[in-house]
């Protein structure tokens, strides 16, 4: 394979590594919903398109399950913030184009925002001769992408390892808190199953027939009169 193929393969491996992160987020949700129909749990979670929204859902659930000052909640909050930041990296490698430059016989391949992307200019990710880009003099060919917004082969490889590490951290956290979550959710289920005072069917039938008996007695009284 050539240099371009190597870069694109690494890009694909990095994206695939992120999918393990999302799978582990789902596993956490399934753990929290233990006892519910697995298909309904899956449909509920996977109908949420935004990773940020999925993270907020999990954050709300864990905030209800764990005590406010517990170490488990603190550990989750730390993971939550970490995955939030990594999701921005994921968005970058999924949505930004790969650029190939040739200069003096050297090929440079990187990933980053397009020079034609006005939002990149607004966010300060590109520079154009140090001046305003809203002018007749602006030429996108002269725009230079700031170095810290580029991702080369090594950066992508490093990101793949980071995604895999994050996936492992989520898995370890799930295995650690699973017994605790199970105990808490089972206790709440037992409370919900406490016997309630309800009318028996016989009592309901008697209550429903009283108006009919009274009405019949009234009619008979009128007949005798």
Give the model's pLDDT for residue 212.
Answer: 52
Tokens of 105: 């016989």
| Cβ neighbours of 13 (radius 10 Å) | 15
Give the per-residue pLDDT at 211.
Answer: 53
| Domain spans of the chain, in order of start | 1-95+154-198
Nearest 5°: phi and psi at 49? -80, -35
Q: Express each pLDDT in 75-107 by its tens digit.
A: 999 999 999 999 999 999 999 999 888 888 888
DSSP 98: E
Cβ within 8 Å of residue 66, ≥6 positions away: 72, 73, 76
Q: What is the mean pLDDT of residues 118-123?
A: 73
pLDDT at 222: 54
Is residue 170 within 8 A of residue 24, CB to CB? The reply is: yes
CA distances from 90 to 16, 45, 59 (A): 10, 19, 20
| pTM of this structure | 0.75
Lookup result for tokens 């909050």: 77
- SS3 state of residue 126: strand
CB 64 within 8 A of CB 32: no
């Amino acid at each position: 394979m050539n240099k371009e193929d190597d870069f694109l393969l690494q890009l694909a491996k990095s994206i695939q590594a992120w999918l393990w992160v999302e799978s582990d987020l789902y596993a956490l949700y399934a753990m929290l919903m233990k006892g519910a129909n697995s298909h309904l749990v899956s449909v509920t979670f996977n109908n949420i398109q935004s990773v940020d929204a999925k993270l907020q859902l999990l954050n709300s659930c864990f905030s209800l399950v764990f005590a406010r000052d517990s170490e488990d909640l603190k550990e989750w909050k730390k993971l939550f913030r970490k995955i939030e930041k990594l999701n921005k990296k994921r968005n970058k490698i999924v949505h930004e184009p790969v650029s190939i430059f040739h200069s003096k016989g050297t090929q440079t391949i990187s990933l980053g925002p397009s020079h034609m992307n006005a939002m990149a200019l607004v966010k300060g990710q590109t520079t154009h001769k140090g001046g305003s880009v809203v002018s007749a003099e602006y030429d996108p060919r002269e725009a230079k992408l700031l170095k810290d917004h580029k991702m080369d082969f090594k950066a992508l490889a490093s990101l793949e390892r980071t995604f895999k590490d994050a996936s492992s951290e989520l898995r370890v956290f799930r295995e650690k808190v699973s017994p605790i979550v199970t105990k808490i959710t089972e206790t709440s289920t037992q409370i919900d199953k406490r016997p309630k005072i309800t009318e028996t069917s016989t009592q309901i039938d008697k209550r429903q027939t009283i108006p009919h008996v009274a009405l019949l007695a009234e009619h008979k009284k009128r007949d005798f009169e």
